[in-house]
Chains A and B, each alone.
Chain A
């Protein structure tokens, strides 16, 4: 049996093509399913091992990014989603998908609570949508299954609402639990930074991505699917001259970890 991935689409979600391409490259079976079809028949979620909530401008980011979509998950798919989580399956949410995950309460998932919103993602300090590549430090103590074996990443962010906010108690708990997986990092020393533009949005504690306590649900702002080819790197010509051009796009590693986890534990 092949790992099976569900990519919900529609309502202005828009990273499906590149996301699907990566999973196919890794030998997974992947289906794009329109949200309306999913809501009409939520049981189909059971056929999949991975739920990939892609980026986009779902519902135009109107009212607040991801909130309307989060309500679809909460109001129409909640039973199936809780079941999906309880059966140890994987969820990844990128950018718009991350915003949806936290607003639906699927992250941070403290003490098995996958319903309560504890954190949020708000308007960047700059007040602007920005597209730029950022350096990311990976917390090696996190049990996030998606970032296994990865120390650092260089990926694009493309968002207007990516600033993590929460109360100090929640942030502290995220830190204590090693649920903070990715930090915006300084290109100089690779350490978490609050300095713009390396931290593109002013996120609390330079957080770029978090996981639930099990490490199976992962949400992040940067777009790993936008780095599937080494030629996506904004400076690949320079890497090539220096003989450092990687053989594959490092963004693929995250999905490979997910697929391998499925092969080892869920099939």
Chain B
């Protein structure tokens, strides 16, 4: 039988507010345990939550970016359950009336565009962390994270493969970073994903029973976890079994999913509107003002790069994958007019390579956009060859100054004086009579040997095009 996979994703995006969703504590990551938890966060008797307006602004930004409805009135509810890292015994979340509803995101898989619906995005507070490892049979509780604002983004079950799911997730990841509402750091848990996965016989309209996969914290694991789960469900059904609705934990070490709790064991969260908080009311002016503050979004930027800079769709996609990279590119092109393609190659190639090698963010690159543009201008005006440029780039990366300074210091100016190149050629021909003989007898592949010798003699500074042209003439014996 042929099977069809149905996937919906729930993504928890940690918002980049300075303080928590309902208290003034800092949200900074990595502080000593329980040093960023105030009376409200640890739920002392008598304390009350106060909504952080900045979190609402970020949620609205997201909603506008995915073309969603922004609910002018949304309601905070309590989700009740007991757990030691949940100090109040309930999580404040939005339930019936979320701030964002009905948006969409367009993904591109193998050149095919597909729209993925976004059911809703709601604000909620994070729980603390239970630390089971370091306390020898006891559990440590760190409440620094308790109360950190999250935007939970719930998709429609519109994805039909693990690859589509990853494409959606990546798209979302780029978007929230563009919007400046999330740092996207998956290791630190700033961007977390749960996946609802089910299978059904191809052609069947009704959904199969779904499993919810938790704890998948990288793009690679999302793909692997879903692939594993699809195979598990198909095997199960084909073997005469039935998929049960349950929550499953992904184990990335063993690459498998394991049952965490079944539907019967599921909590009854007893949601009800939080009486400590008034409904979140957003004024039209607030939404308009937020709309004005939206940056250019990834899709628009990509299309503009193709249009404005004549880039291929692929190059534009890569360059707009992170707004910092796109900004870098635009700054470099601005300082090296007319060199958009060459600049794109450098940014995608050498710059990205060095950044990866040194594990640096583009903002921390030792070669600034201006410096790269300086280098590109020297390639364009034939001062240096592409090959020498790589050597200069490395020197710039190492802190030896801008392109002109390196060229000057190292004497890397390209030799474009035809007579100087001719002299070098003649010298080499004189010193290699045997090879010259063979070449002239038809062994044309020796041409490369002569190019190499000339470049070596000129320490790579000879203009390669000129070297080629002059060599051909000289070697064939025709008068120059």
Is the pairing of A and B real?
Answer: no
* Chain A residues proximal to chain B, CB less than 8 Å: none
* Chain B residues proximal to chain A, CB less than 8 Å: none
